[in-house]
Amino acid sequence: MRKRLWLIFGPVICAVALILITILLANPNPKSNYDVEKKAAVATTPQVFKSGVLKRQALSDSDHRFVPFFGSSEWKRMDSMHPSVLAEGYQRSYRPFLIGQAGATSLAQYFGMQQITDQLQDKQAVFVISPQWFVKDAQKQKALPMFYSKAQGLDFLQNQTGTDADRYVARRFVQVNPKDSLTGMMTKVADGKTLSKTDNAKIKSYLHVSNKEDAFFSTWKTADTYDKKIAPKAEKLPQPYNQKVLSQLATKTAQKDTSNNPYHIKNSFYTKRIKSHEAKLAGSQKNFNYVQSREYNDFQAVLNQFAESNTDVMFVIPPVNKKWAEYTGLNEQMYQKSVEKMKFQLSSQGFNQVADLSKNGNKPYYMEDTVHLGWNGWLNFDQHVNRFLTTKQKAPNYKINNQFLDNQWAMYEPKAKDDFSKFK
Amino acid sequence: MTQWLENLPNWQPYGDPTYFGYLLLGLIPIVIGLLYGRRFQVYEALFSFTFILLMFSGSKWVQFYALIGYIVWQLMLIFGYQHYRKKADQGWVFYSAIFLSILPLILVKIHPVFNHGKMSIIGFLGISYLTFKVVAMLMEMRDDVLKDLRVWPVTRFLLFMPTLSSGPIDRYRRFEADYTTAPERSVYLDYLQSATWNIMLGFFYKFIVAYYINLYLLIPFKHAALSQGGLFNLPTIGVMYAYGFYLFFDFAGYSLFAIAISKFMGINTPINFNKPFLAKNLKEFWNRWHMTLSFWFRDYVFMRFVLMMTRHKVFKNRNVTAGVAYMVNMLLMGFWHGLTWFYILYGFLHALGLIVNDWWLRQKKQKNRARKKAGLEPLPSNWFTNAVAIFITFNFTMFTFLVFSGFLNQLWHH
């Protein structure tokens, strides 16, 4: 019998043991490796977003300065003026570490930041706000599972100290992930209770294992975006850096690449995403509204994190493609209202580094497609960001106002020329 | 009690690797006992109770009470009917008993239609599978093949933990025979071997294949189809195949787990899937797809309906009888899935398919008979005709799964 039992269970037991050994041997704090880091920095995959190991490895590299660029789908618009291309081509003192793709809204970003709080401490960062996040049913957060990993939740539980923002985030987590294995502890935080000793021990041991797992798998997590999309374009940039030359080049390239439609949208985007149902899209965005949204509260959680880490952040607010907005009926006044609301939330708390590009949607070849910066837009973006990252900045002085975590703020409808006195 | 229940963790059956860890740990004493020909009934009961409790704990605590209430209700029906059946056998009593046993399920299915999709509080995970078991028992009691039932064996049959939430649907007499005699050692070792294999295969099906199909095919296709809109588009065809395969690997994986855990407990639960996409016709498909469900419907709906109609000579032509029985059978299956147009249409399409399939087979038989008389070879049947048959059956079932998925509803009304 014993021999038979060994034949049945032996292979399984050996396999499990081998897996455990392999994973537990992985090093969650790998040495700096510029080759891995530069690939991870532009991979823009959910795998990199979720991998604390890769993010920490790059952002704490003492020989190369990677700056976290938080954002979403715009990072994938890797044309010849993309910030990563420019930083590479002109050998800047920094390299963008792109964090986020389509669907990575504030809540996803907040959880992603929990893995790199040490790396954010007293450092600089860039954050692109997409007004498209600020829709009414933002609470559904359908894309969150794509960017969320258990390690982020665990890091959050370890970092939290029971502040209003912590309780707010925990509450949101329970709403969005009611079935998650961490929901129990999140509920405690949301209710303002302290975590028990066993809870903390659990967090620590889970985190230990998931960091090992992350370390083991991170080796295969980077994509070949760097070799395919960044390096070849960086090589072709005209040397030395000259704004005028670049701008001419951007316009010329863009003209060629947007020839098949009247909206100055990149040809491939137009063919793939619009052409087949173009007529149906006319007027389709008439009722879009970014003014009242839960996202304002989620965004506040992100601001709380930046303030806590004393991170000097530049916020960028992009425009929408004017021609496209007109075709789809997107209300420009509504758009500007939402921008005003965001800007008030920023400036009133001392976040003064804001590049408001929202009125540039009509500039030639500023957008690559409907809502994403491209060519001249990227150049403009680069001017702001480059100046911010390479010249000395005043130390930030943030004054957090927790009113912005309230539903009242989320649902607040600004009047024309509002001074937002209710929220001062 | 409620508060205690609410504070317990919730473990969905076969949800993640940790669940298997605890499950297998709990199984060790049972396995050792069975290896030595002993069944520790009390321990098994405790083990099952714990894992059932954890299925319905935490935020799902309401379902725990629903389950208890449901079991009490069904036991009262079964033993009430048994008591009656000893003395008499009137049709209306039998039909009332059947109706009362399905009543909770009917309420659970109807409730969301009138309450904005909200679930009824008497519902719980696995209610339909329990109903199948009870209805089959009542029918066999009327046939007089089931008698002298006792409360404890019936309860442990109904609440058999590995198959509680989603089958496979076992039969009482088969289960009871397995349970009362511990399998011989050599047989049990075979069980252990196949159980280990099934768990590994189930991991592969559910956590790898189904997971990746969902992530890299189903979700992107749905996304593309929804953004294109219209009545039908190319990505919807992608959704169709991706969903069909996803459904198979997810559910077949789940069934493999349930069968494996049953076998660890010395119970030879019947299989649920047998390479369904290799079926050459629709009838064969239903002998390979969700087998315990389709056999249940065959034995307790289709056959009984045919028998009843033949006995009362409702139709002269027995092909018509069969056709009507297919329709009743498959529509009922559609309604069982839920009261939405797509589930019902799914049932209807399968009934139609089965009727056409029967007609085709009859035609072929007649032709071949005629050809034989005329001294000709029968119609060709070779690898090519088989491949065509498999291709047609496969695509038809995939299309019905698209209907079943409810995605068309989303596409047209989002």
Question: What average pLDDT does the structure give for chain A?
Answer: 93
Closest residue of chain B to A10, computed from CA coordinates: B196
Interface contact B189-A178, CB threshold 8 A:
no
- For residue A9, the chain B residues in CB contact (below 8 A) are 192, 196
CB distance from B382 to chain A under 8 Å?
no
Partner-chain contact B193 A8, CB within 8 Å: yes
Tokens of residue B323, six digits: 């056709």
Q: According to the model, what pLDDT value does residue A59 have?
A: 96
Residues 27-66 of B with CB under 8 A from A: 35, 58-59
- What percentage of chain A has pLDDT greater than the value 90? 83
The Cα of A96 is separated from the nearest Cα of chain B by a number of Å equal to: 28
Mean pLDDT of chain B: 94
Whole-number pLDDT of residue B388: 96
Residue B9 pLDDT > 80 = no
| Nearest CB partner across the interface for B196, out of A8, A179, A280 | A8
What's the pLDDT tens digit per position in A11-20? Answer: 999 999 999 8
Q: CA of B11 to nearest chain A CA: how many angstroms apart?
A: 9
* Residue of A381, A361, A360, A374 whose CA lies nearest to A267: A374
Inter-chain touch B227–A273, beta carbons under 8 Å: yes
Sheet order of strands, A66-70 included = A95-99, A66-70, A124-128, A312-317, A354-356
Q: Which residue from B119, B100, B101 is spatially nearest to B110, judged by alpha carbons? A: B119
- Contact list in A for residue B10 (CB cut-off 8 A) is 179
According to DSSP, the β-strands at A66-70 and A124-128 are: parallel
Of A4, A178, A184, the CB nearest to B189: A4
CB atoms within 10 A of CB A131: 24
Q: What is the pLDDT of residue A139?
A: 54
- What SS3 state is found at B166? coil
- Residue B209: CB atoms within 10 A of its CB come to 18
Which tens digits make up the pLDDT trace of A212-226? 999 988 877 677 899
Q: Which chain B residues are closer than 8 Å to A4 by Cβ? A: 189
d(CA A42, CA A88): 11
- Quick: pLDDT tens for B270-327: 999 999 999 999 999 999 999 999 999 999 999 999 999 999 988 999 899 999 999 9
Contact B185 A8 (CB under 8 A): no
* Spatial separation of the C-alpha atoms in residues B154 and B134, rounded to whole Å: 9
Instruction: List the single residue in B with minimal CA-CA distance to A278.
Output: B228
CB contact under 8 A, A277 and B229: yes
Concatenating the DSSP letter of every residue in B71-94 gives HHHHHHHHHHHHHHHTT---HHHH
Give the per-residue pLDDT at A140: 61
Predicted complex ipTM:
0.82
- Is-above-0.90 flag for pTM? no
pLDDT grade for A138, boundaries at 50, 70 and 90: low
* Tens-place pLDDT, residues A291-315: 999 999 999 999 999 999 999 999 9
Q: Write down the domain spans for chain A.
A: 2-423
Residue positions of B annotated with a catalytic role: 337
The reported pLDDT for the residue numbered B373 is 93
Helix ranges (H only) for A258-402 are: 267-269, 278-281, 295-308, 322-328, 332-347, 375-390
Convert the pLDDT of each residue in A176-200 to its tens digit: 888 788 988 999 999 999 999 989 9
